[in-house]
Amino acid sequence: MANIILQCFYFMLPVYFANMAPVIAKKINFLKFPIDFGREIKNKPILGKNKTFRGLFFGVIFAIIISYIQYYLYKNGILFDLAMIDYSSWLLLGFLMGFGAIFGDLVKSFFKRRLGYEPGKPFVPWDQTDFVIGALIFLFPIVKLPIDKIMIIIILSFILHIIVNHLAFYTGVRKEKW
Ligand code: CTP
Ligand code: MG
């Protein structure tokens, strides 16, 4: 069981880095404009000012870099037992994981705005799972995981997200605890 959890964690690393990328890249003044171009539906932002092209760009880049590193390790037999998949298609894998993660986050923000939550306000459990669901859906055409692993991934990611966000909050990396 411990081994399966570790495999799930290793599998999800590109997704986790994609999800952290927008926060890490916050200080960079590149593509720093909102994906909804500041537009509104019924006086509410479509996605909100916090969802930028910068976040999308770095999310995809981070996931591709981690996926490449995993391919490199896999090819050289390093951490081979942790790998659940063949990493030969690292570019496609990384792209789908990164784009899927950020897309999931955008879909969440779309519904969050419709329900009237301000950007940055907690929206449990969707803040913790949007990127995971998005990435798994985008990956589905090339990686079909059994349902038990999907459940482990969702629960594990939910717990890790809360721990990492709280750490980021207390170290000043993030402005919100959730
Ligand atoms: N971010 C970004 N581009 C994205 C996603 C996030 O630039 N596509 C940055 C923003 O600076 C944002 C921070 O990362 O404030 C944290 O992201 P997140 O928690 O996902 O967004 P929230 O601010 O909570 O907004 P929402 O309420 O829409 O989830
Ligand atoms: Mg948030």
What are the tens digits of pLDDT across the range 120-152? 999 999 999 999 999 999 999 999 999 999 999
Question: Residue 29 is inside which H or E element, if any?
Answer: none
Looking at residue 22, what is its pLDDT?
Answer: 97
pTM exceeds 0.85 for this model: yes
Whether residue 178 is predicted with pLDDT greater than 90 in this model: the reply is no
- Helix orientation angle between 147-170 and 2-24, rounded to the nearest 10 degrees: 50
Looking at residue 176, what is its pLDDT?
Answer: 87
Ligand 2 centroid from CA 175, angstroms: 9
Q: What is the pLDDT of residues 51-103, one digit of tens each?
A: 999 999 999 999 999 999 999 999 999 999 999 999 999 999 999 999 999 99
Q: Residue ranges of the domains in the chain? A: 2-170
Looking at residue 1, what is its pLDDT?
Answer: 86
Looking at residue 116, what is its pLDDT?
Answer: 96
Question: Residue 149 is inside which H or E element, if any?
Answer: helix 147-170
Residue nearest (by alpha carbon) to ligand 1 atom 27: 119
Whether residue 177 is predicted with pLDDT greater than 90 in this model: the reply is no
Mutate to test the pocket of ligand 1, among 15, 51, 57, 61 (most ligand atoms within 8 A of CB): 51
Measured distance CA(21)–CA(121) in Å, rounded: 19
